[in-house]
Amino acid sequence: MSIIEKMRLNGKKIFVTGGARGIGKSVATAFAEAGADLAIVDLDIDEAKKTAAELEANNGIKAIAIKADVTKPEDVDAMIDEILNVFGRLDVAFCNAGICMNIPAEEMTYDQWRKVIDINLTGVFLTAQAAGKVMLQQGGGSIINTASMSGHIVNVPQPQCSYNASKAGVIQLTKSLAVEWAKRNVRVNSISPGYMGTELTLNSPSLQPLIEQWNSAAPLGRMGKPEELQSICVYLAGDTSSFTTGADFVIDGAFTCI
């Protein structure tokens, strides 16, 4: 069997949080193209249904849409129950849902701080924990968490201390879970994207001055594309990455090198 054939995800059952659009949709598309069945999890259930239908029609796989708030344990539990009812098992979890608020630290309210931490860090913990429980019973699985280069550097000029702190937490959470579950065949890794040119980012007038500054500082002179995250996620989801756990993959066009 060739390495390309070995990297196929045929028959694997995967959920993607924040999967309706952006990075989540792009990676879900790659999973579907590689042969996996998918649960697209998002608060925007209408958009999630559109994405699921599109992936199913284009790739001949099964895709379902689930509405869930990743900060609520009861929603996460219901999400897992629905996935198991439909698919019977869970092989891969892409814990990707997240938000960012650019607010000076001295002006940030407690509620604003909590919202970012709850979604970006607690949400990753709850979904990874729920997935891990299933995978430990099954005898294995792969969890991929979305961190950020912001877990390694302090972004400028935008003030985003809550985002930076949350993503640094995701990286350390990933390492901790990987060590706890390594001998039970549940692998946990994270990706740390740099600035990504998603449709939402590129079409935001308020971000245009920042994008110009980011690009002028970037070694490659541009933002990344969501599809440039696809191959690393397919690798981490598949069996060829069986010796890869506890790793954080920085995909930032060398931005953190400067």
Per-residue pLDDT 10s for the chain (258 aa) are 899 898 999 999 999 999 999 999 999 999 999 999 999 999 999 999 999 999 999 999 999 999 999 999 999 999 999 999 999 999 999 999 999 999 999 999 999 999 999 999 999 999 999 999 999 999 999 999 999 999 999 999 999 999 999 999 999 999 999 999 999 999 999 999 999 998 878 877 878 889 999 999 999 999 999 999 999 999 999 999 999 999 999 999 999 999
Determine which one of 26, 148, 150, 162 is catalytic.
Answer: 148
Phi-psi region of 11 (alpha: psi -120 to 50; beta: other; left: phi over 0): left
- The gap from C-alpha 246 to its chain's centroid, in whole angstroms, comes to 15
Query: For residue 166, what is the enclosing H or E element?
Result: helix 161-181
pLDDT of residue 205: 81
Which residues are CB-contacts of 216 (< 8 A; sequence separation ≥ 6)? none
To which H or E segment does residue 74 belong?
helix 73-87
195 catalytic? Reply is no
Find the catalytic residue in 12, 13, 49, 167: 167
**Domains in the chain with CATH codes:** 3-250 (3.40.50.720)
DSSP 212: H
- The pLDDT value recorded for residue 92 is 98
Report the distance separating Cα 256 and Cα 258, nearest Å.
6
By the 10 Å C-beta count (0-12 exposed, 13-18 middle, 19+ buried), 55 is classed as buried
- Model-level pTM? 0.97
C-alpha to C-alpha distance for 222 and 215, rounded to whole angstroms? 5
- 2 carries an active-site annotation: no
Contact 29, 56 (CB under 8 A): no
Measured CA to CA, the distance from residue 158 to residue 174 in angstroms comes to 26
Q: Considering 49, 163, 166, 195, which one is annotated as catalytic?
A: 163
Max Cα–Cα distance, the chain, nearest Å? 58
Helix (H, G, I), strand (E, B) or coil at 116: helix
